[in-house]
Amino acid sequence: MKRDIFEFEFGIFDCDGTLIDSMSFYTETFVVVLEEKTGIPREIGRKFYKERAGTPALKQYEQILELYDKNKLADVREITELFFQRIDKIDKEKKFRVFPGTKKLLMELCRRGLKLFVTSGSKCRILERKLEKHDLLVYFDLIMGSDEIPKGVEHIKIFVDWCELPIEKFAKRAFLLGDGPSDMRIARESGVYAIGIANTVDAEILIKAGADDIVKNLKDLIHRS
Task: Give alpha helix (H) positions in 69-152.
Answer: 76-93, 102-111, 124-133
Does the pLDDT of residue 220 top 70, yes or no?
yes
Residue 119's nearest CA partner among 31, 185, 169, 165 is: 185
**Per-residue pLDDT tens digits for 52-71:** 877 888 889 999 988 887 77
pLDDT of amino acid 42: 94
Per-residue pLDDT, averaged over 74-92, amounts to 90
pLDDT of amino acid 225: 59
**Per-residue pLDDT tens digits for 86-96:** 988 988 888 88
The CA–CA distances, whole Å, from 206 to 80, 121, 134, 163, 199 equal: 26, 18, 27, 28, 11
**Per-residue pLDDT tens digits for 100-142:** 999 999 999 999 999 999 999 888 988 999 999 999 999 999 9
pLDDT of amino acid 1: 67
Does the pLDDT of residue 73 top 80, yes or no?
no
Task: Give alpha helix (H) positions in 94-180.
Answer: 102-111, 124-133, 153-163, 167-172
User: Cα(first)–Cα(last) distance of the chain, in Å?
Assistant: 15
Share the mean pLDDT of the chain.
Answer: 92
